[in-house]
Amino acid sequence: MTMFPAGEYNGLPFIFGGSFMAAWEDAPDLMELAAKVIAAREEVAHVEVDQVLFLRELETKPPALARCYRFHTHPIGFFSEKPWGIVFYWMNCDYMSQEQLALLMFHELLHIPPTGNKLIQHDVQDFRQVLGIDLDWSEPGREVPKILGVMNL
């Protein structure tokens, strides 16, 4: 694998310099999941899935489960024409059920605005308002709402 920033976009994982290294891989399965969430939830129907780079981070364990980025202010913006990125920190969420992953994707997609270039700031407490669930939704083994309905994940 080619290490960034010395290579092309498809040469994942990336290195951002210094002692920090992030092993990121392209995640077409997350793109498929996002497309299903977008189709099922009107709150994120404005998101164009082909305008989002979906990545899985494999080696680090930050405090977040996932993050949404606007690439015009992020180093990856040099390597992708897509304006948005969603990264799942796999060491933090690899235990999740498909329903929990769908909720996490929904949360990240909510950051992408219908218009403009600035990420919408919100937190997991928004789930209480939008879905009526508690803050423990991401715990291992938790039963969560099936936000995709009867669609097969």
Fold of the 25-130 domain: Zincin-like (3.30.2010)
DSSP 9-69: TTS-SEE-STT-EE-EEE-HHHHHHHHHHHHH-GGGTT--GGGEEEEEE-S---S-SEEEE
Q: So what's the pLDDT on residue 22?
A: 66
Q: What confidence category does residue 2 fall into, taking pLDDT thresholds of 50, 70 and 90?
A: very low
Q: What is the percentage of the chain residues whose pLDDT exceeds 90?
A: 43
Segments making up each domain of the chain, as ranges: 25-130
Q: Is 12 exposed, middle or buried (0-12, 13-18, 19+ CB in 10 A)?
A: buried
CB contact at 8 A, 144 and 27: no
Instruction: Count the Cβ atoms, other than its own, within 10 Å of residue 68.
Output: 17
Q: So what's the pLDDT on residue 108?
A: 94
Q: What confidence category does residue 7 fall into, taking pLDDT thresholds of 50, 70 and 90?
A: very low
Question: Model confidence over 109-121: pLDDT tens digits?
Answer: 999 999 988 888 8
Q: So what's the pLDDT on residue 125?
A: 64
Contacts for 129 with CB less than 8 Å, ≥ 6 apart: none
The pTM of the whole model exceeds 0.85:
no
